[in-house]
Amino acid sequence: MPARTVLTGATLLLATALATAFTTPAAPAHAATLGAVDAAVRSGVPGVTVTVRDRRGTWSATAGAGDLRTGRSRSADDRYRIGSLTKTFVATVLLQLEAEGRLSLDDTVDTWLPGLVDGHGNDGRRITLRQLLSHTSGVHSYTADQDFRARYFTEDGFREHRYDTLTPRRLVALAMRHAPDFAPGTSWRYSNTNYVLAGLVIERATGHSYATEITRRVIDPLRLTATSVPGAAVTLPRPSSRAYSKLGDPAGAPYDVTELDPSLAAASGAMISDSADMDRFYAALLGGRLLPARQLAEMETTVEVEEDPDVRYGLGLMDRRLSCGVHVWTHTGDIQGSTSVAAATPDGRHTLAANFNGDWAGGTDAVLEAEYCGD
Q: What is the SS3 assignment for 40?
A: helix
Determine if residue 101 is left, alpha or beta; phi over 0 gives left, psi from -120 to 50 gives alpha, anything else beta.
left
Task: Check: CB of residue 375 under 8 Å from CB of residue 32.
Answer: yes
What are the DSSP calls for 223-290, one per residue?
Answer: T-TT-B--TT--SPPSSB---EE-TT-TTSPPEE-----GGGTGGGT--EE-HHHHHHHHHHHHTTSS
Q: Of the candidates 198, 192, 189, which has an alpha carbon nearest to the alpha carbon of residue 313?
A: 189
In this structure, the chain runs to a length of 375
Dihedral, CA atoms, 333, 263, 132, 113, nearest 10 degrees? 170
Residue 49 in 3-state DSSP?
strand
Mutual angle of helices 31-42 and 364-373, in 10-degree steps: 160
- Give the residue numbers marked as catalytic: 84
